[in-house]
């Protein structure tokens, strides 16, 4: 069988790849990488950076590309075949990783170089690679006994399977739910565009009426606009019961397994818990620092959140005589309160943000800031017909990156939005190999005329993921493991979150915020509304995020000891919870960020990075949001450097000092203006 994944390729040949190609490709490439590593360990010359670190860094490059492709497809366009293959591929890769990190002769060579690092002639970036490689070996079992190493291997294999199962269960439960509705009266309050899509979904299933699901573009409009309180309640409870229904897709036991395995792994490696293991390599450094950070924010946010909830309760009482607001009421009455206070009309605002126009706008902003130019290339193979590929060039016409954009939900795609890569930037003696980056979202599908209008939240989501993409596309480092978003997890959100700020600026909005029919610019009143809304219910939003981060830390800093998941979650969230818990709602069983993704003991980084982004953007505000020197400094000191330099050092090179919390608190309306 000819396997396109085993051939040398630059652009992933999606038009030739089949699911059956992945497992044999991974097996063959693992063997190829092992052979390369054997050559390193069998080298009789004294170990040096050039004969040990460099060949190790590039030994698995082809394997990593195939693995990236596989797991990206597993998230963005999965199938039962891919999910079955993952149960074989994931443990294989985990085992191979441990084969490297527990290879005693290889580690001895690395340790020899590390012990001579002060006198070795190695570049600053090379020193960083040496430091991270040595620590990676130590943090993954190189210093353990053989018996301990075998236990770590078993744990890693079990974790690989458990996290995959967790994600598959969430996707399965999301797809399994559908609510047919016969009459339009039940859907009173929902926009016509939503009704048209719901009717189309029903038609596709050979049903009459309308069909509502739990994918976000279907779920969230119901929570915001449906006047039928019972409908909102039904959907809210269904959303919160995903993977928590005591069936084959229940994730409660899997959560306990994942947390227990992570805890045991940390203990074997000499750490008190998984959070201590993770945070040792983060800007925050310790669980105590994270908890202090969250506690300080909570003190500022909770009084504001309580005032906001009281206001919302009063509004609900006035509007519908509701004595006690419930969680399924919050979004609905928040939308009503926004409309009353700001004359807010999300459906009207959407008309100024058609997807194609917003995408053109973010490309224009990237051109003004960083000189980038985007050209769609229909000849580039893609993994789904909804995916669009762009070639990216700099101001001098040099190729910088390939960008894939995948914007709409489908049953084969997991929920949420993310940036990923199909090829990591790196350099060899021959060339600077440019990255292939992907943005994946779940925005509302186009209407019958092919136009997808975005909510303002979706606009900021696109800008957020594009900020991550810039971090990947502008990478300019020598080594793939230090390139792009391969940075401390609590630093990785800075490029994404700072990009959201351009959604609120008149000068940038004028580039793309125009009515999809008349091309009328966004009216000044709407701009005022958008900026006024930056602080609307920010206390409640901040407290909600603090709750997520606190729950994450509680699972991973030793507080969880096999307790019943729902009871544990309720206990941890109680201090941050303003509304009474409603059975059977539980968020942990679908908390994919920490039980499937890479945010375990790291969810706090969203708020941590908000401090960085608010403080960093204040420099743009001082000098002009398109100031060329400020943009150049941000590109050179943040976006291009990857993990080659300590993140705080990079930040201070850009900002001239360490970040200050005040910028975030002021932006959130939690501190008085000067």
219 contacts: CB under 8 Å, gap ≥ 6: 212, 213, 235, 239
**pLDDT for residue 674:** 47
Q: Structural domains in the chain?
A: 4-143 (1.20.1050.40), 177-240 (no CATH)
- Looking from the CA of 585 toward its CB, the CA atoms found within 13 Å total 16
C-alpha dihedral sign at 413, 415, 419, 423? negative
Token digits of residue 210: 């309308």
Please state at what angle helix 287-320 crosses helix 538-556, rounded to 10 degrees: 140
* Tens digit of each residue's pLDDT (9 = 90 or more) over 587-621: 999 999 999 988 999 999 999 999 899 999 999 99
- Beta strand ranges found along 183-324 (DSSP E): 210-213
pLDDT at 280: 94
Find out whether 349 and 526 touch, Cβ atoms under 8 Å.
yes
Give the chain's residues under pLDDT 70.
1, 671-674
pLDDT of 502 reads: 98
Q: Cα(558)–Cα(327) distance, rounded to whole angstroms?
A: 30
Q: Is 565 helix (H, G, I), strand (E, B) or coil?
A: helix
- Would you please indicate which residues are annotated as catalytic (active-site) residues? 465
C-beta separation of 180 from 199 below 8 A: no
**8 A C-beta contact, residue 189 and residue 227:** yes
Q: Which tens digit of pLDDT belongs to each residue from 75-131?
A: 999 999 999 999 999 999 999 999 999 999 999 999 999 999 988 889 999 999 999
Q: Could you give the angle at the alpha carbon of 197 between the alpha carbons of 196 and 198, nearest 5°?
A: 90
**For 544, what's the count of Cα atoms within 13 Å in the CB-facing half-sphere?**
10
Backbone angles phi, psi at 402, to 5 degrees: -110, 135
Query: Any idea what the Cα angle at residue 441 is, between residues 435 and 447, rounded to 5°?
Result: 125
- In angstroms, the CA 582 to CA 117 distance is 57
Cis preceding linkage at 309, omega within 30: no
Please tell me the distance from the alpha carbon of residue 100 to that of residue 596, in angstroms, as a whole number: 24
Per DSSP, the three-state class of 81 is: helix
Q: How far apart are CA 26 and CA 303, in angstroms?
A: 53
**Count of Cβ atoms closer than 10 Å to residue 369 Cβ:** 23
Residue with tokens 């709407």: 526
Pairing mode of beta strands 436-440, 432-433: unpaired
The candidate with the shortest Cα–Cα distance to 218, out of 430, 30, 444, 419, is 444
376 strand-pairing partners:
390
Those residues whose C-beta lies under 8 Å from the C-beta of residue 276, and which sit 6 or more positions away, are 266, 286, 287, 557
């Amino acid at each position: 069988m000819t396997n396109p994944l085993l051939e040398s390729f630059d652009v992933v040949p999606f038009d030739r790849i089949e699911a059956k190609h992945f497992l044999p490709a991974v097996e063959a490439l693992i063997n190829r990488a092992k052979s390369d590593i054997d050559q390193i360990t069998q080298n009789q010359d004294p170990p040096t950076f050039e004969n040990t670190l460099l060949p190790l860094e590039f030994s698995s490059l082809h394997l990593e590309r195939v693995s990236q492709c596989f797991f990206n497809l597993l998230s963005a366009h999965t199938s039962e075949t891919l999910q079955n293959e993952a149960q074989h591929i994931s443990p294989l890769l985990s085992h191979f990783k441990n084969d490297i990190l527990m290879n005693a002769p290889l580690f001895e060579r690395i340790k020899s170089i590390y012990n001579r690092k002060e006198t070795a002639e190695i570049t600053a970036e090379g020193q960083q690679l040496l430091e991270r490689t040595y620590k990676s070996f130590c943090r993954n079992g190189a210093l353990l006994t053989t018996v301990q190493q075998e236990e770590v291997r078993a744990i890693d294999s079990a974790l690989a399977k458990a996290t995959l199962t967790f994600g598959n269960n969430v996707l399965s439960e999301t797809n399994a739910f559908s609510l047919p509705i016969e009459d339009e009266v039940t859907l009173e309050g929902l926009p016509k565009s939503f009704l048209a899509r719901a009717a189309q979904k029903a038609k596709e299933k050979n049903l009459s009426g309308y069909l509502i699901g739990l994918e976000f573009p279907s779920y969230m409009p119901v929570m915001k606009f449906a006047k039928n309180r019972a409908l909102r309640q039904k959907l809210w409870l269904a959303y919160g019961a995903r993977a928590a229904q005591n069936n084959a897709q229940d994730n409660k036991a899997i959560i306990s397994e994942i947390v227990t395995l992570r805890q045991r792994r940390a203990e074997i490696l000499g750490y008190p818990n998984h959070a201590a293991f993770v945070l040792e390599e983060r800007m925050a450094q310790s669980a105590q620092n994270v908890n202090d950070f969250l506690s300080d924010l909570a003190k500022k946010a909770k009084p504001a959140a309580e005032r906001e909830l009281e206001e919302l309760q009063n509004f609900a009482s006035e509007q519908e005589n509701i004595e006690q607001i419930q969680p399924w009421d919050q979004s609905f009455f928040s939308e009503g309160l926004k409309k009353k206070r700001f004359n807010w009309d999300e459906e009207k605002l959407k008309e100024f943000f058609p997807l194609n126009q917003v995408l053109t706008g973010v490309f224009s902003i990237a051109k003004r800031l960083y000189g980038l130019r985007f050209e769609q290339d229909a000849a580039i193979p893609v993994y789904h017909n909804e995916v669009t590929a762009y070639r990216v060039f700099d101001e001098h016409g040099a190729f910088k990156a390939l960008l894939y954009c995948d914007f709409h939900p489908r049953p084969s795609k997991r929920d949420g939005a993310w940036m990923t890569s199909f090829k990591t930037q790196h350099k060899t003696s021959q060339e600077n190999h440019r990255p292939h980056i992907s943005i994946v979202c779940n925005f509302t599908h186009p209407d019958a005329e092919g136009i997808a209008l975005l909510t303002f939240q979706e606009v900021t989501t696109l800008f957020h993921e594009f900020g991550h993409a810039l971090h990947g596309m502008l990478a300019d480092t020598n080594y793939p493991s230090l390139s792009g978003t391969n940075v401390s997890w609590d630093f990785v959100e800075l490029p994404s979150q700072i990009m959201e700020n351009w959604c609120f600026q008149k000068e940038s909005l004028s580039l793309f915020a125009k009515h999809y029919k008349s091309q009328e610019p966004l009216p000044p009143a709407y701009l005022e509304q958008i900026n006024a809304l930056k602080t609307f219910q920010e206390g409640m939003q901040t407290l909600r995020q603090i709750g997520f981060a606190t729950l994450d830390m509680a699972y991973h800093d030793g507080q969880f000891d096999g307790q019943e998941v729902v009871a544990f979650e309720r206990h941890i969230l109680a201090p941050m919870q303003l509304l009474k818990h409603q059975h059977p709602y539980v968020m942990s069983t679908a908390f994919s960020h920490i039980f499937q993704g890479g945010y375990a003991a790291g969810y706090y980084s969203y708020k941590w990075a908000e401090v960085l982004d608010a403080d960093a953007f204040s420099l743009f505000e001082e000098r002009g949001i398109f100031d060329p020197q400020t943009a150049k400094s941000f590109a050179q000191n943040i976006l291009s450097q990857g993990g080659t330099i300590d993140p705080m050092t990079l930040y201070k090179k850009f900002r001239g000092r360490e970040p200050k919390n005040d910028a975030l608190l002021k932006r959130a309306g939690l501190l008085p203006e000067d």
